[in-house]
Chains A and B, each alone.
Chain A
Amino acid sequence: MRETIITILLSIVCLTFWIWQVDDNVTSLANERLKNAVNYAAHDASIQIDKKYLGNGRIAFNNAKAEEVFRQTVADNLFLDSDLVPRPNTLFKEKITVIYTDFIDDRDGITYPFFYENEAYGIHHWIFGPAVVFAVEVPRPRTFNVNPSYSLVKWSVFEYPVPR
């Protein structure tokens, strides 16, 4: 009887830690993949410029095209469908939402370097040229239902990559 009780108690303690560890690992991987995907997507969006301004030596983004490309790249990197809903048997379980979009370009009449701030999403970033800003949110993938539920928010500020 004594051995049985000890075994059960030991199992409860060890399994609790193990569940916590596996969940932490999955969240960490999700963080890494989500941040990378948002960076790639913001990079791709920053290439989408309006060519009619380029002739005057100004950089202005094609906002609609940039948003479309952002969603496409996020979807391709995280294996989502066109509505940003994860495909079956992939890391994320719930829909990813683009919660914030901003474009800073030569139409805004600002001088660089410019300190970009957005308190709502904790964005504080120096920019040295025209840039795009995107933020996404997704409920974190939980390994077990007993794990706490919260959302991951990732943002990226990407300057227009000047041709080298």
Chain B
Amino acid sequence: MRQVIMVLLISTLFLVYMFQPFLNEVYHLRNLALQTTLDRGIEKAAVDGRFTEPTINEMKTTLANQLHFSPEEVTFSGTTGVTPRGGYIEGTLEIPAGQLWILPSIFGGANDIKELRAYAKQMSEYIAR
């Protein structure tokens, strides 16, 4: 009986120790990819005075291709109306967070963050002609 308990305990810990770091790393890299993609998007938006359809689609396609989501799973909200030079443009990009814990039932998976979100705000440099 003692042996069985030890095997159960050790195998559970072994599972966590073996696979949890990979899930943490994937979670982190998704977060970084999201930040970088929005950063590139808002640079273009500052020049155009708004997040144009091609810029939004490019951000969605980049994330969908790189992280193997469908473009519908990537959501964007932000400034799509033309903003004159000196006005603020903002954008929020969201993707599904995926699984963070290898044993969610033990580590409170129900309270996990469901979406990863990046936010950026910058002034427009667009001048209407």
Contacts and interface: CB of A to CB of B under 8 A. Distances in A.
Contacts of A18: 17, 20-21, 24
Contacts of B58: none
Interface residues of B, number: 29
Interface in A116-162: 161
B125 A21 contact: no
A-side interface mostly: helix
Contacts, number: 68
A144 B88 CA distance: 36
Contact of A164 (B10, B21, B47): B47
27 contacts: A10-B17, A14-B17, A21-B21, A21-B24, A21-B25, A25-B24, A29-B28, A32-B35, A32-B36, A36-B39, A36-B120, A40-B42, A40-B121, A40-B122, A43-B46, A43-B122, A43-B123, A47-B85, A73-B123, A76-B88, A76-B90, A77-B119, A77-B120, A163-B85, A163-B125, A163-B127, A164-B47
Closest 3 CB pairs of A and B: A14-B17, A25-B28, A40-B122
